[in-house]
Structure 1
Amino acid sequence: MRDVRGYEEKDPATMAQLASGYPRFLVHPFSRQLIAHYTATVPALAGRTLWLTSSSRMADNLATLLAAKTKGAKLFSSDGLSGVSHPVSPELYALAKTYLQNIGGFISSREAEDHLLRLKLIPARFAEKTFPGDAGAEVRRVLRTALPDTTDDDLLLAPSGMNAIHAAFRASASLQAERGRTVWLQLGWLYLDTIAILKRFTSTPADYVYVRDPLDQDAIARIFAKHGARIAGVVAELPTNPLIQTPDLAAISHLCRQHGAHLILDPSVASVFALKILHHADSIASSLTKYTASEGDLTAGLVAINPAGRDADELRRRAAAEVEPPYFRELARLAAEIGETEAVLAKIQANTARVVAYLENHPKVRDVYWALHPASRENYQRIARTPEATGGMISFTLRAPMEPFYDRLRLPKGPSFGMKTTLICSFMYLAHYDLVTTPAGIAELAASRIDPDILRLCCGVEPVEEIIGAIAEALA
């Protein structure tokens, strides 16, 4: 936990040890090396901060954002690369980094690697297995096994889950705004960058509505009854993160269709391979970083348009215009991994059920949340592909302070999930450090019934006895 705090507070002693990290939060070493090359060799970049982006369009958007704060932001283009430079400034740095983090706009690490190789700054590419044919076609072919009523045109691939969510949201929001609909409902506590997108891109602060309890169907119905003509749509995770709650999807879908609102669903916590939900939604926006990229070595995302939705053609067109192009080598790597998804999920889910049973029966564990938690088990089971299809996420709290347990626990620790490797984190400290360290923040979490010390565990494919053994050792 000392290192978690050190990372969040940018303690030099901690940051010096971080060679890399989750690639929307820490700029990848290849990208940093490439940026250092250009700032050292291009005179116009001397003494400036440079960001390399996923496309020229992303660079244009970033430059427009920075122009509101400085006249010194300049577009950068060289050797097929796009980016933005600006004067050195902590404020501008934070603004640019947060924007690119929120919507997944950084250059791909594999694209940066290829440029380093071209410039002879590295001797060779990292050796890895890739798909030899049309990688995009292969990824879509496998995805259609989970989304069988779709065509290739309905499946839009993105460089990250957040870019997929951004594209799906902007597509719906722009269409609905033309109809005078600007209010968006957030069902339950969502992932931090999804919340950031909703707050950043809704028309006014009043158009962002946080529904604290996604299981309170009566409250949701009352909101629609009062404001239905102004509601543009609903964004929901299935299940939510980190409380792993599943709202009554059929009822929410009915309300949305009855009132002309769009429904955007994010099944990243459990995976599109675990759930049958597209027919309820207008679009799905999901991370493919989780479960489908189970080696944990790339980011990717998906926007899936419900072809039977009333606005399907227009949403397909608008989302395609918003989504960033995945780099071809990222797709080639994803295509080499995605075929394992169902087998990996089966093992993860078998382990998850065993770990949940252990935690629920341990006297030092207070609360355990997972897809089959009694509070929303029936809602989840109605959309699960099979009784075993739970995903791999477990959140739990302890009856004693969390920190000694976390420090003793000999499991890999980090902020992602859905990998072959078991991973645990003190989620609220990593995602919402500002909330867990202030009285107002703690009050906000309490109002949402979230313990600041909640731990988020996602099982991997290791022998389950090893996972349970590590937890038992730390609880002893």
Structure 2
Amino acid sequence: MTETRQYGFDTLQVHAGARPDPATGARQTPIYQSTGYVFRDADHAAALFNLQEVGFIYSRLTNPTVAVLQERIATLEGGVGAVCCSSGHAAQIMALFPLMQPGCNVVASTRLYGGTVTQFSQTIKRFGWSAKFVDFDDPAAIEAAIDDDTRAVFGEVVANPGGWIMDIDAVAKVADAAGLPLIVDNTTATPYLHRPIEHGATLVVHSTTKYLTGNGTVTGGCVVDSGKFDWTKSGKFPSLSEPEPAYHGMRFHETFGGLAFTFHGIAIGLRDLGMTMNPQAAHYTLLGIETLSLRMDRHVANAEKIAAWLEKHPAVEEVTYAGLPSSPYHERAKTVCPRGAGALFTFALKGGYDACVKFIDNVEIFSHVANLGDTRSLCIHSASTTHRQLSEAQQVAAGAAPNVVRVSIGIEDADDLIADLDQALAKVAPKMAAE
């Protein structure tokens, strides 16, 4: 591929980062199932360990298959580099790790996946970090929550579970005014529906487990570096701006410029935290990304049809899908996600908690699974599963109230999916059959 041409998304999702294997000519990226790599000589080894030369040392740090995936995701997101790791949760810690110190906090949206709420409200306390949760629909509240110890702002473009759309430009404006990096979880939108860096994000995180892989086979995560943040300006990010003892006083930002965060994520983050993505997982994700745009178009088309049907069902109290004209996020979605509002949303049942549980137990095509972004349609009652650890008030704030079911719409025939929903709802509320 020539460097001078601007390739389209569909081309990049197949080719970015990949080249025929130099040893065999294999066109598909091989699975380099190797822990270590032979150095040319002692000088070559020393240069690699001193970060004076880019190459492969040990697969906890770098692996050729994973490297292709990193380049592909970074290219699709419009970033300068990326670090892949073992899961989406690992990616969140990897994103925060170079930024935080004991006593520091992150300002986070109240509309986050329940596991992220727990990670930020409970687990990161063990590092001496904390999180402040605020409504990201209120930029003034974000601004008010930021203090001298804040080191990042964190939100989801299309929030899990409700599918709400974040006004990323407004949030980025607040973060930029405070001199803070904006970290955006783009898992549910994917770079096909939205590219956060173009709207002011500093870092983008993914659970590659979801739409990027798309087939429910492997877990993985990724942090994409925009390369646009000045880590030296405020003095708040010494891991990136000050001498690093492990590398003889080298300063990452001074040495690597726009790639400072990426190099730190590999040389320090993966080296010491060990949240490594295995090469087979990278291979499966590369295969998935090749059809990302095709799948997302189908996901969106199905979601729009099914959400409209659910909204009219007498047993359904509310549908949160931003692709519906009735959604308060509908107009925002047209700007933030012009190709569609994704395929993740919730609906509330008039029968409450018990009705949700009965519905879950009666679906046939939909799978009751704690995952999303699969080619298969999935559903879950968040209040009794993924958000069970939260208080009811937190569940409601996160969009996972006791009367709510989350659905991830797959790429099956939409009429078959509607028929499945219809028969399950009929068993929940037999007197409320769909018209």
TM-score where L is the length of structure 1 = 0.63
1:17-68 residue CA offsets vs partner (Å, 9 max, x unmatched): xxxxxxxxxxxxxxxxxxxxxxxxxxxxxxxxxxxxxx9xxxxxxxxxxxxx
**Alpha-carbon distance in 2 for matches of 1:302, 1:470:** 34
**Alpha-carbon distance in 1 for matches of 2:397, 2:411:** 35
Alignment correspondent of 1:383: 336
**Alpha-carbon distance in 2 for matches of 1:247, 1:238:** 5
Runs of 4+ off more than 6 Å: 203-206
Alignment correspondent of 2:371: 416
DSSP 3-state at the match of 1:234: strand
In structure 2, the CA distance between the partners of 1:460 and 1:447, relative to structure 1 (3 Å rule), is closer
**Alpha-carbon distance in 1 for matches of 2:403, 2:302:** 23
**Alpha-carbon distance in 2 for matches of 1:214, 1:270:** 17
CA drift of 1:464 comes to 0.5
Alignment correspondent of 2:219: 299
2:162 is the counterpart of 1:230: no
Alignment correspondent of 1:101: none
Asked if 2 retains the 8 angstrom alpha-carbon contact of 1:350 and 1:388, the reply is no
Which blocks of at least 5 consecutive residues in structure 1 are unaligned?
1-54, 56-107, 112-132, 436-440
2:133 is the counterpart of 1:183: no
**Alpha-carbon distance in 1 for matches of 2:372, 2:397:** 26
Asked if 2 retains the 8 angstrom alpha-carbon contact of 1:369 and 1:396, the reply is yes
- Residue type matched to 1:218 in 2? A
Asked if 2 retains the 8 angstrom alpha-carbon contact of 1:159 and 1:300, the reply is yes
2:426 is the counterpart of 1:468: no
- Residue type matched to 1:405 in 2? F
CA drift of 1:375 comes to 2.2
**Alpha-carbon distance in 1 for matches of 2:359, 2:328:** 27
Which blocks of at least 5 consecutive residues in structure 2 are unaligned?
1-34, 36-58, 232-257, 427-435
- Residue type matched to 1:157 in 2? C
In structure 2, the CA distance between the partners of 1:222 and 1:460, relative to structure 1 (3 Å rule), is same
Partner residue of 1:135 out of 60, 65, 77: 65
- Residue type matched to 1:135 in 2? T
2:266 is the counterpart of 1:266: no
Alignment correspondent of 2:76: 146
TM-score where L is the length of structure 2 = 0.69
1:132-164 residue CA offsets vs partner (Å, 9 max, x unmatched): x9533542454255223x34xx11111211111
- Residue type matched to 1:380 in 2? A
Q: What is the identity percentage for the equivalent residue pairs of Structure 1 and Structure 2? A: 20
- Residue type matched to 1:143 in 2? I
In structure 2, the CA distance between the partners of 1:231 and 1:380, relative to structure 1 (3 Å rule), is farther
CA drift of 1:448 comes to 5.5
Correspondences of 1:333-348 after superposition (within 5 Å): 333-348=284-299
Partner residue of 2:131 out of 203, 208, 213: 208
2:289 is the counterpart of 1:356: no
- Residue type matched to 1:322 in 2? G
**Alpha-carbon distance in 2 for matches of 1:372, 1:188:** 21
DSSP 3-state at the match of 2:345: strand
In structure 2, the CA distance between the partners of 1:351 and 1:455, relative to structure 1 (3 Å rule), is same
**Alpha-carbon distance in 2 for matches of 1:393, 1:447:** 17
- Residue type matched to 2:90 in 1? N
DSSP 3-state at the match of 1:325: coil
- Residue type matched to 1:475 in 2? L
CA drift of 1:449 comes to 6.0
- Residue type matched to 2:142 in 1? I
Alignment correspondent of 1:322: 269
2:174 is the counterpart of 1:255: yes
1:303-322 residue CA offsets vs partner (Å, 9 max, x unmatched): 10011222344422332222
If each structure's helix is expressed as a fraction of its own residues, which one has the higher value? 1
Partner residue of 1:458 out of 391, 408, 422: 408
**Alpha-carbon distance in 2 for matches of 1:377, 1:172:** 34
In structure 2, the CA distance between the partners of 1:442 and 1:197, relative to structure 1 (3 Å rule), is closer
Alignment correspondent of 1:288: 208
DSSP 3-state at the match of 1:172: coil
Correspondences of 1:90-101 after superposition (within 5 Å): none
Alignment correspondent of 1:394: 345
2:86 is the counterpart of 1:167: no
In structure 2, the CA distance between the partners of 1:145 and 1:189, relative to structure 1 (3 Å rule), is same
1:153-199 residue CA offsets vs partner (Å, 9 max, x unmatched): x111112111111100112224xx7xxx8221111232233223323
CA drift of 1:241 comes to 1.6
In structure 2, the CA distance between the partners of 1:203 and 1:233, relative to structure 1 (3 Å rule), is farther
Asked if 2 retains the 8 angstrom alpha-carbon contact of 1:186 and 1:236, the reply is yes
CA drift of 1:276 comes to 1.7
In structure 2, the CA distance between the partners of 1:474 and 1:194, relative to structure 1 (3 Å rule), is same
CA drift of 1:206 comes to 8.8
CA drift of 1:233 comes to 1.4
DSSP 3-state at the match of 1:173: coil
Higher relative contact order, structure no. (Cα contacts within 8 Å, ≥ 6 residues apart): 2
